[in-house]
Amino acid sequence: MASHKTHYEDCDVLVVGGGMAGTGATFEARHWGRDLKIICVEKANIDRSGAVAQGLYAINCYMGMQWGENQPEDHVRYARNDLMGMVREDLGYDMARHVDSSVHMFDEWGLPMMKNEKTGHYLREGKWQIMIHGESYKPIVAEAAKKSADKIYNRIMITHLLMDEEKENRIGGAVGFNMRTGDFHVFRAKTVIVAAGGASHIFKPRAVGEGMGRTWYAPWSNGSAYALPIAVGAKMTQMENRIVLCRFKDGYGPVGAYFLHLKTYTQNANGENYEKKWYDQTKELVGEYIDHHPTPTCLRNHAFIQETIAGGGPIHMVTTEAFQDPHLETVGWENFLGMTVGQAVVWASQNIDPKYTNPELTTSEPYVMGSHATCSGAWVSGPEDLSPPEYFWGYNRMLTVDGLFGAGDTVGGSAHKFSSGSFTEGRLAAKAAVKYIEDQKAEGIKVTDKQCEDFKEAIFKPLETYTVAQNEITGGTVSPSYISPIQGLQRLQRIMDEYVGGIATNYMTNGNMLKRGLELLAWLEEDLEKVGAEDLHQLMRAWELKHRALTSQCVTEHTMFREETRWPGYYYRGDHMKLDDENWHCLTVSRRDPKTGKFSLEKVPVYHIVDENEKKKAS
């Protein structure tokens, strides 16, 4: 290992991932911890990293409390409804009551906000969304983080968390490697905030071959947010709740501004409103949930998927009416220029002008994340003033490992946070992390050199595997002694796609398929010991793959555990096709034993705190 130099850094707060949640955490950690040493480590470059790298055209979570537009309770009800009842209302409420203050800071920091000319309020796209000229959203929040941190490390991928060797189940820091220099980095830390985004590319994407790499969620989101905590035995929740998105075909262009602001609508190939056609069938599956308003995202997907299976496709977005208005036409195009330029390019290449041709929609491959219309992620403590005892163990957003915190896509149970809510959750986690240090909970942490050296050996092993095994290459990239990261990735994606409810089966799975999927994932895990990397970039790919594979195991275990179809349109358990409130109106929580690698799962009650409190007030 002599060829890889080791760097040591000791700090108080270590933020892993400098996306929306990570920048929020870094900024807020400095506010409460003036004298603390705060480090942020980012796999890419913080100025243009994470899901918001390319910019956004709307901030999807803003209450507007100053104008009486919405209250946090309204947002909790909204998220609960959209997730078919399954959210952590304490976390959702806590985020919602603070999110406006984050947005006001973005405004102060120079993010161009669109204003309603009549009222002077932020221009609403929908009930929760406000419109921005957000091409520079990410550099703006990155600047706040850069000014707050003692140091930002770019181009370092964190591969493992370090554990304290003095006190059981307490965090000790993290390790990783620099993808440009090949150096090994040890960060010994009193607290770690994991903010490493969601997971794309664990299910086989629709775009393969010439379109490989094109996904809806950021292709570089590789599930580190889940794999890092899972590997050290932190509990996870709702990992079965993967998300499927309805988006413009091939470019995955966003549809929110089109539906909400441009008031466009969808129809099948015969020009019919197909959603109505599936009402009775959906009611059979989910009962009164189909009558909720707004219709939960998964149920709208369900109608789309059923209509396509029944031969009613392609499904189109009707843009030709709205685009006759020059203002709306401009908004429609700008929407892509601010966040998904690729969609405009796809349309140009396919000769689609939405003023004259209604563009096609599709449902995406599934993604795992905790900040959108879905809530997979870590099982964390809530705030002390809101959370019932099962949801509270001392520090807000702390995982079930002491000193390990999470925010954004990392945190499960709290959907519909989006960019602003993820930044806000980062702030909440950082405030609690500083308190944890001030409360002397991080005293006497011991991380031996041996622990670090063992990880160093493991991290660079794929380079060695390749160096030796390349001598046995029989042709191209084929060798009996190693697999490349892309070979491993494609194998993972097929397992998840075909057995765990991807596009190959129209999102259908069942207990037998999941059991087989788990067997295949276990063999993949064995073979990943033999992953080879020819350079540092491939070394990153190798570790991204290992994180994706561990995340996938957890997703599959959860999908097997929940014996019902809670979210038709996200996935179907063919052996339990109906929503089953009697047995499954609960959250699922898992833990992987780091010593044996075995998962155990349990049901945890879901508390409807908002309406309970109201009921109490009324009585």
Ligand X SMILES: Cc1cc2nc3c(=O)[nH]c(=O)nc-3n(C[C@H](O)[C@H](O)[C@H](O)COP(=O)(O)OP(=O)(O)OC[C@H]3O[C@@H](n4cnc5c(N)ncnc54)[C@H](O)[C@@H]3O)c2cc1C
Q: How far is the CB of 418 from ligand X (least distance, A)?
A: 3
- Tell me which of 56, 95, 352, 386 binds ligand X, using CB under 6 A: 56
Minimal CB distance to ligand X: which residue?
19
197 binds ligand X (CB under 6 A): yes
Question: Which of 274, 367, 273, 267 is closest to 317 using CA atoms?
Answer: 267
Shortest separation between residue 241's beta carbon and ligand X, angstroms? 15
User: How far are the Cα atoms of 5, 58, 65, 73, 295 from residue 70, in angstroms, in the given order?
Assistant: 53, 17, 6, 8, 19
3-state secondary structure of 110: coil
Q: Which residues contact 90 (CB under 8 A, 6 or more apart)?
A: 382, 383, 386, 387, 388, 391, 392, 607, 609
| 178 near ligand X, judged by CB under 6 A | no
24 versus 488: smaller Cβ distance to ligand X: 24
Residues 249-268, one symbol each (x = binds ligand X by CB under 6 A, - = not), give -----x--------------
Instruction: By CB under 6 A, tell whether 380 contacts ligand X.
Output: no
Question: Measured from the CB of residue 410, what is the shortest distance to ligand X in angstroms?
Answer: 6
By CB under 6 A, name the one of 22, 72, 312, 569 that touches ligand X.
22
The answer to whether 147 and 38 have CB atoms below 8 angstroms apart is: no
Among 12, 28, 42, 498, indicate the residue that binds ligand X (CB under 6 A).
42
Name the minimum Å distance from CB 612 to ligand X. Answer: 28
Question: Which residues from 412-431 bind ligand X, rule CB under 6 A?
Answer: 418-420, 422
158 forms part of the interface with ligand X (CB under 6 A): yes
Percent helix / strand / coil, the chain, rounded to 5: 40, 20, 40
Q: Which stretch binds ligand X (CB under 6 A): 52-60, 163-171, 496-504, 549-557?
A: 52-60
Please choose, from the candidates 255, 381, 235, 398, the residue with its C-alpha nearest in 3D space to the C-alpha of residue 319. 255
Asked if residues 160 and 177 have their Cβ atoms less than 8 Å apart, the reply is no
CA 368 to CA 550: how far, in whole Å? Answer: 12
Answer yes or no whether residue 149 interacts with ligand X by CB under 6 A: no
Q: Does 217 contact ligand X by CB under 6 A?
A: yes
Helix (H) or strand (E) holding 605: strand 599-605
Q: How far is the CB of 401 from ligand X (least distance, A)?
A: 17
Q: Please select the residue that binds ligand X; options are 33, 50, 338, 488, rule is CB under 6 A.
A: 50
Tell me how far apart the alpha carbons of residues 70 and 475 are, in angstroms, rounded to a whole number. 62
- The span of 47-55, 83-91, 595-603, 610-618 binding ligand X (CB under 6 A) equals 47-55
Task: CB nearer to ligand X: give 155 or 277.
Answer: 155
Q: At what angle do helices 224-231 and 536-561 cross, to 10 degrees?
A: 70
Counting other chains too, the contacts that 120-126 makes at CB distance below 8 Å and 24 or more residues apart are: 121/64, 121/67, 121/69, 122/62, 122/64, 124/64, 124/69, 125/58, 125/256, 125/257, 125/260, 125/261, 126/256, 126/259, 126/260, 126/261
| Identity of the residue, 146 or 573, whose beta carbon is nearer to ligand X in the bound complex | 146
Displacement of CA 603 from its chain's centroid (Å):
22
CB-nearer residue toward ligand X: 426 or 501? 426
Contact between 41 and ligand X by CB under 6 A: the answer reads: yes
Q: In this complex, which beta carbon is closest to ligand X, that of residue 177 or of residue 567?
A: 177
Among 85, 366, 382, 408, binds ligand X (CB under 6 A): 408
* Shortest distance, position 499 Cβ to ligand X, whole Å: 25
The smaller minimum CB distance to ligand X, of residues 518 and 540, is found at 540
What DSSP element (H or E) covers 16? strand 6-16
User: Measured in whole angstroms, how far is the alpha carbon of residue 335 from the centre of its chain?
Assistant: 22
- Window 476 to 515, contacts with ligand X (CB under 6 A): none
Range 220-239, binding ligand X (CB under 6 A): 220-221, 224
- Quote the strand ranges of 27-110, DSSP E: 38-41, 56-59
| Per CB under 6 A, 218 contacts ligand X | yes
- Report in angstroms how near the CB of residue 158 gets to ligand X at its nearest: 4
Asked if residue 399 lies in contact with residue 406, where contact means CB atoms within 8 angstroms, the answer is yes
Size of the residue set binding ligand X (CB under 6 A): 39
Applying CB under 6 A, does 62 fall inside the site for ligand X?
no
Question: Smallest distance from the beta carbon of 561 to ligand X, in angstroms?
Answer: 25
Residue 196 or 442: which CB sits closer to ligand X? Answer: 196
If we measure between CA atoms, which residue out of 429, 539, 432, 426 comes closest to residue 482?
A: 539
CA neighbor of 237 nearest in space, from 383, 82, 387, 399:
399
Query: Closest separation between CB of residue 310 and ligand X, Å?
Result: 29
Tokens (6 digits) for 91:
């976390």
Site membership for ligand X, residue 60 (CB under 6 A): yes
CB of 475: closest distance to ligand X in angstroms? 33
- Which one among 106, 187, 216, 561 touches ligand X, defined by CB under 6 A? 216
Burial track 565-600 (b if 16+ CB lie within 10 A, e otherwise) = bbbbbbbbbeebeebebeebbebbbbbbeeeeeebe
SS3 of residue 343 by DSSP: helix
Under a CB-based contact definition with an 8 Å cutoff, are residues 430 and 28 in contact?
Answer: yes
Stretch that binds ligand X, among 16-24, 109-117, 528-536, 582-590 (CB under 6 A): 16-24
* Positions that interact with ligand X (CB under 6 A): 16-22, 41-44, 49-52, 56, 58-60, 157-158, 195-197, 216-218, 220-221, 224, 254, 371-372, 408-409, 418-420, 422
